[in-house]
Amino acid sequence: MAVQTWLITGSSRGFGRALTLAALEAGDQVVATARKPGQLADLAEQYGDRILPVALDVTSAEQTRAAFEAAVERYGRVDVVVNNAGYANIAPIETAPEDDFRRQFETNFWGVYNVSKAALPVLKRQGTGTIVQFSSIGGRVGCTPGLGSYQAAKFAVDGLTRVLAAETAPFGIRCLVVEPGGFATDWAGASMDIQGIPEEYEATVGAVAGIMGTEFTAAGDPKRAGENLVRVVKREHLPTHLVLGGGAARMAIDYSLGQIAEASRWLTVSSSLDFGQPYPVEPPADTA
């Protein structure tokens, strides 16, 4: 297979660094973006011209366009775009500072929007390319107390990507949403700020804060995840969504089965609201 060029956001640590290393080890080229590209100096020394560290704050549309211009200038093309940059802070929705809630959303959703939009002219011109969006199992299942901004953004990323995939398939562009569970990155450590939790939220938000940084949030191996993603992206046929981690996969299956059961239980009520259908109908028994 021909050498591919990757552009990966948030490359200095966590999943981004693991994926950057995996792509380089596979013989590919990487435009490795980070707020502080100096943190990639060791990889630049080791891999030479096959890695291009670029400063990028994904909340800046101007910096994002400049990153793609630098990528095309160095390598002539971009084959795989990975939206990995993101972070989460913990606080109840009621008491979370609004400016922090918005800042998280700026990075976790609008950053993905900026990078995806900047990628499209390059990928369309080539007639091929893959966009990989890092979501979270929380972006499918949700309901984790304290992660309101983060999980809302991840749901939005999934919705955006479903539409993006439909719009760009005729141009030869593929999209993949990645949904990790708990992995041994600093997402739940140094990158996370646990804000003041009022006493009445200790049983919910406080319980979630208490497991951050434990084995529960660090079951997955980022190195394995990076290597696996490189192999998956090189396949001819991609899944639309890829869940990372056994616990996350079980959560996804249970959630989807629950959705099917609930929609089926209320099917006669839903159908009765169309013109020409029997109405009213008896709802299902009022039980849990």
Residue pair 71/52 in contact by the 8 Å Cβ criterion: yes
Q: Which of 11, 136, 149, 154 is catalytic?
A: 154
Measure Cα distances from 115 to 52, 84, 85, 162, 251 in Å. Answer: 17, 10, 10, 16, 29
Q: Which of 75, 116, 136, 150 is catalytic?
A: 150
Nearest alpha-carbon partner for 87 in 8, 197, 13: 13
- Residue 140, by phi and psi: left (phi above 0), alpha (psi -120 to 50) or beta? alpha
Distance CA 271, CA 258 (A): 19
How is residue 48 annotated by DSSP? Answer: G
> Residue 191 catalytic?
no
Distance CA 262, CA 149 (A): 26
Distance CA 182, CA 41 (A): 28
Question: Containing H/E element for 81?
Answer: strand 80-83
Buried b (16+ CB within 10 A) or exposed e, 175-214: bbbbbbbbbbbebbeeebebbebeeebeeebbebbeebbe
> Residue 135 catalytic?
yes
Show the tokens assigned to 127: 């007639």
Question: Containing H/E element for 123?
Answer: helix 111-126
> Residue 154 catalytic?
yes
Q: Which of 135, 136, 149, 201 is catalytic?
A: 135
Show the tokens assigned to 109: 């959703």
Q: Which residues are catalytic?
A: 135, 150, 154
